[in-house]
Structure 1
Amino acid sequence: MTHMIGRPQPAEAAPYYFTYINQVTGDNPVTTIESQLEESPAFFASISEEKSLYRYAPEKWSIRQLLNHVTDTERAVAFRALWFAHGFESSLPSYQNIAAASAQADTISWAAHIEEFRRVRLSTISLFRNMPTEAWTRSGIASDNRFTVRALAYIIAGHLTHHVNVLRERSYRISLHRGTPCRKQHRNILSAC
């Protein structure tokens, strides 16, 4: 039931979120979200169990923590979209990145993280595919900011793109299946050294 959704206007999300919105091309974020379901699990599966624990700096998230953050954020943002699409007027609280630390993501297998991402993404796709046309421009307050449903869909797609790009663009490449991190400047961080 997805229709021409159109791009969010500046008033549809706080300026910060356009970092993610602008990662998405075209006028239908559902198309991007669907294509990411095809591409992303394969990309993540190319990272070995061992390398999924890699941190490019001691205070930074491991790759497992990063995927856990992406998955949990998608859940929270999709809930916001559902809430606003149904016309509920109560504002929603902020979602803190600190939650990623309490999730103990490094204790969960890498394969389980990938499967959880895949299942959450399927749920998100179902939500947006069945969204009535008039719901896309409905809005509400979350984290003390106004969002439209369509802005939230773009944020979900762009948030994943942003984090995958960060993995790919780190100045230290990692070998996915052998060895230790390489100290070479390359755009494809996840290629073999």
Structure 2
Amino acid sequence: MRPRPLFIENPEHDRYVSLVPDGDIEEILNKQQAKTLTLLGSVSEELASKTYAPGKWTLKEVIGHMTDSERVMSYRILAIARNEIAPLPAMDQDQYVSAANFNKLSWEQLLAGLDTVRSNTLSLISIIDEAAWVRKGTVMNSPVSVGTIVYGIVGHELHHMKVISDKYL
């Protein structure tokens, strides 16, 4: 079982890591994937194309954002695990969403993308050894460990799924 990060290097990361329950992180990631896809699989194309308030993202954009964020975080895991010493860049979520045109994609395509990205994340995590799990790199001018990023992936999805449940469904 992978250890939970004992020290969160940046308070920004803690807002997501603190949402993650105790337990085997790979099992949590697997269960989260199934739960999220089951819940979102019942959403209609029409509902997926709506916002809950003016100026907010559509549900399609939220899922696209979740997918892009996990892609970026998985890259960060890989880079840090492989001893990358160069600082890794930030991700401007609004810029990514506006450039992606998620609303032109079908709901089915977006869910398939989310599923594939999580499967790839799980594959990557399964080959990370203990030394790499605690290794730190620099993201957004702040140190962060591989383990913190993995827990951040789970917490980021938990955060957005709560927003989806509360505001969209």
Sort the TM-score into its range (normalised by shorter chain): over 0.9
Structure 1 residues 149 and 167: alpha-carbon distance in aligned structure 2, compared to 1, 3 A threshold? same
Please state how far the C-alpha of 1:145 moved relative to its aligned partner. 1.4
Runs of 4+ in 1 over 3 A off after TM superposition: none
The CA deviation string for residues 31-86 of structure 1, in whole angstroms up to 9 with x for no partner, is: 21111121111111111010001101110000000000000000000100111111
Q: 1:141 aligns with which of 138, 141, 146?
A: 138
Letter in 1 for 2:157: L
Work out the CA distance in 2 between the residues paired with 1:161 and 1:134.
Answer: 27
Structure 1 position 128, deviation (Å): 0.5
Specify the alignment match of 1:124 in structure 2. 121
The CA distance in 1 between the partners of 2:165 and 2:4, in whole Å, is 26
Q: TM-score, normalised by structure 2?
A: 0.95
2:56 counterpart of 1:45: no
Q: Percent identity?
A: 28
* Aligned equivalent of 1:112, options 109, 112, 116: 109
**d(CA) in 2 for partners of 1:136, 1:34:** 18
Give the Cα–Cα distance (whole angstroms) in 1 for the partners of residues 63 and 119 of structure 2: 16
Distance 1:28 1:137 in 2: 16
Match of residue 66, structure 1, among 45, 62, 66: 62
1:156-191 CA-to-partner distances (Å, cap 9, x unmatched) read 011011100111123xxx5xxxxxxxxxxxxxxx2x
Does structure 2 conserve the Cα–Cα contact (< 8 Å) formed by 1:30 and 1:153? no
2:68 aligned with 1:88: no
SS at match of 2:45: coil
Greater share of helix residues, 1 or 2? 2
Where does residue 51 of structure 2 map in the other structure?
A: 55
Q: Which has the higher contact order (CA 8 A, sep 6+)?
A: 2
User: How many pairs does the alignment contain?
Assistant: 168
Distance 2:165 2:14 in 1: 21
Where does the alignment leave 5 or more consecutive residues of structure 1 unmatched? 175-189
Q: Which has the larger radius of gyration?
A: 1
Aligned 8 A contact 1:91 1:142 in 2: yes
Q: TM-score, normalised by structure 1?
A: 0.83
1-structure distance, mates of 2:83, 2:146 = 10
- Tell me how large the CA RMSD over aligned residues is: 1.2
Gaps of 5+ in 2: none
